[in-house]
Amino acid sequence: MVRCPHPAAASMKDQLTVAVLLLVAIPATASAQASITGVVRDTSGAVLPGVTVEAASPALIEKVRVVVSDGGGQYRIIDLRPGVYSVTVGAPHINFQYTAARAWVDGNRNFVPDCDWANPALQDNRAGGGDLCGAFTGPNANFGRAIPGTRDDPDVDFGWGTRGFNWLFSASVQQELVPQRVAVDVGYFRRWYGNFLVTDNLAVEPSDYTPFSVTVPSDPRLPLAGQTLPGFLNINPNKASVPTDNLVRLSSHYGDQYEYWHGVDVVFNLRLGGGTLLQGGTSTGKTVTDNCEILTQVPEGGVTSQNGLNSAILDIGGPLANPFCHQQTRWLTQVKLLGAYTIPRIDVQLAATFQSIPGPMLNGSLVVPNAQVQPSLGRPLSGNAANVTVQMIEPGTLYGDRLNQTDFRVGKIVRFGARRLTASVDLYNLFNSSAVLAENNNYSAYRRPTRVVGARLVKFSVSTNF
């Protein structure tokens, strides 16, 4: 794979930079929904998509409001207060794509891409002692073009009830089992999400993709060992080099998408008197997410987290996500306990905490050579790709070993009249657990630990109250 900077990027950027200043007056009698609209064109009359348009006025709280012209060069600045506005039409070169990636086979082994980098077509110069450089595919096909590769549907940016949301429902019951001694709290929680987004490449249709399957290696560590995993998609060669025209839309335009988490928490408190306290509980829940209806119409949409609002169990980009459009975790349980006791007369404090949480979710990335894909695909991979990386474990079904950790503290209270000094010794990870917190998910180094819990740690501290 080689990344290609455009050789004429600087000069083309200068040629595309324009600035036009207009003055627009909105009278005081204008509607509260007044707007400024127009079409951005160059000197030849051609529309210019992806151009920044700024409306500046003292009437605006933010002083300047910025929009970007759409694919047809149109722009619309809405909800303007009465006043005089200066409208500046800026530079379309902000959408100029200066770099791209393409397949590369170093035929002459000189470690230099011997081909015309700016030529988007397939170049196979190996017969003459050169290299093979694959055609630009997907977003890379916009290389050297001053057009936006991605734009938003107006429904995403404007309107009522279009912002992503989440709702939380909870119901709990608290009961005192022993007066002033023992209490239990049981609660049910459910959080669900809505107004998901999907990126639709308008330049392609679902029929422009060809399915293929992958055989999972016969490895006892893999749940689907030796089985054939179907449903992966590869774009057809005649569409692979078509420049992308991505439109970000609400997924509800294409079907039903949902995600939710629900679970039960159980918490108890024991106050046994004499300075003895015991608290703890469990939290059990699972996550379910599904966008299968969306991917039947937008295969390139993938399964992704969106703006921190929701979190896919496992992000999988593009048409390789289709086999895993429905994801759900197992019921996962956390257990946490805390205990404290003060030994009377000698004022020695003892405390301990314990936690048991699920291990890391495991997934498996397998690099599949072109030769293994061709039998089911019926052709080589598009763009002269040498291989493709796919997931071979259903997300949310396999987890590493649990983390069980105990921390302990002992402290001595020393009194000086109204003042009190406490000397403490803390032991973190008392039993020196070496639980794995993260593992390598690439099959070439599958399940190799990349991070473990910290080793046993001793800390000495002194605090005073006065």
Query: What are 29-60's pLDDT values in tens digits?
Result: 555 568 888 888 877 787 877 788 888 888 88
Are residues 81 and 219 both part of a single domain? no
Chosen domain end from 63, 90, 117: 90
Exposure string over 192-220, b if 16+ CB within 10 A, otherwise e: bbbbbbbbbbeebeeebbbbbbbbbeeee
Rounded CA-CA distance 301/151 in Å is 15
Chosen domain end from 90, 116, 133: 90
* Residue 189 resides in a domain: yes
* Residue 4 resides in a domain: no
Rounded CA-CA distance 306/309 in Å is 6
- pLDDT for residue 9 is more than 60: no
CATH of residue 59: 2.60.40.10
Reported as a pLDDT band with limits 50, 70 and 90, residue 21 is low
Are the C-beta atoms of residues 93 and 16 closer than 8 Å to each other?
yes
Are the C-beta atoms of residues 443 and 364 closer than 8 Å to each other?
yes
- pLDDT for residue 328 is more than 80: yes
pLDDT tens-digit readout, 224-249: 999 999 999 999 999 988 888 888 99
Reported as a pLDDT band with limits 50, 70 and 90, residue 22 is low
Would you state the pLDDT for residue 312?
Answer: 63
Would you state the pLDDT for residue 425?
Answer: 95
pLDDT tens-digit readout, 70-79: 878 888 888 8
Rounded CA-CA distance 81/67 in Å is 16
Would you state the pLDDT for residue 139?
Answer: 74
The owner of tokens 């506005």 is 85
Q: How many helices and strands, by DSSP H and E, does the chain display?
A: 5, 30
Are residues 210 and 301 both part of a single domain? yes
Are residues 68 and 173 both part of a single domain? no
Quickly count: other Cβ atoms within 10 Å of residue 1's Cβ. Answer: 9
**What value does the CA radius of gyration of the chain take, rounded to a whole number of Å?**
30
Would you state the pLDDT for residue 231?
Answer: 93
For residue 371, give the H/E element and its range. Answer: helix 370-377
Average pLDDT taken over every residue of the chain? 85
Give me the domain span that covers residue 230.
Answer: 165-465
pLDDT tens-digit readout, 385-409: 889 999 999 999 999 999 999 999 9
In sequence order, which ranges of 141-180 are alpha helices (DSSP H)? 154-157
3-state secondary structure (DSSP) of residue 118:
coil
Sheet holding 83-89, edge to edge: 20-26, 83-89, 52-56, 64-68
* Residue 158 resides in a domain: no
What are 359's two structure tokens? 């291990």
* Residue 97 resides in a domain: no
Report which of residues 118 and 459 the model is more confident about.
Answer: 459
Rounded CA-CA distance 312/146 in Å is 33
- pLDDT for residue 307 is more than 80: no
What are 442's two structure tokens? 């690439």
Chosen domain end from 71, 90, 109: 90
Would you state the pLDDT for residue 3?
Answer: 47
Quickly count: other Cβ atoms within 10 Å of residue 224's Cβ. Answer: 16
| Phi, then psi, of 382 in degrees rounded to 5 | -65, 155
Rounded CA-CA distance 376/368 in Å is 12
Would you state the pLDDT for residue 93?
Answer: 45
Report which of residues 92 and 115 the model is more confident about.
Answer: 115
What are 124's two structure tokens? 């196979």
Rounded CA-CA distance 170/47 in Å is 52
**Long-range contact pairs involving 214-222 (C-beta distance under 8 Å, separation at least 24):** 214/366, 214/368, 214/372, 214/373, 214/376, 214/390, 214/392, 215/372, 216/366, 216/392, 217/366, 217/392, 217/443, 219/446, 221/446, 221/447, 222/364, 222/392, 222/393
Rounded CA-CA distance 390/385 in Å is 14
Are residues 86 and 169 both part of a single domain? no
What is the mean predicted confidence (pLDDT) over 104-110? 87
- pLDDT for residue 92 is more than 70: no
Are residues 66 and 188 both part of a single domain? no
pLDDT tens-digit readout, 147-189: 666 788 888 887 788 888 899 999 999 999 988 889 999 999 9
Are residues 195 and 83 both part of a single domain? no
Are residues 301 and 403 both part of a single domain? yes
Are residues 172 and 49 both part of a single domain? no
For residue 199, give the H/E element and its range. Answer: strand 197-201
| Local structure of residue 313 (DSSP, 8 states) | S
What is the mean predicted confidence (pLDDT) over 454-464? 93
Are the C-beta atoms of residues 327 and 315 closer than 8 Å to each other?
no
* Residue 178 resides in a domain: yes
pLDDT tens-digit readout, 407-458: 999 999 888 877 888 899 999 999 999 999 999 999 999 999 999 999 999 9
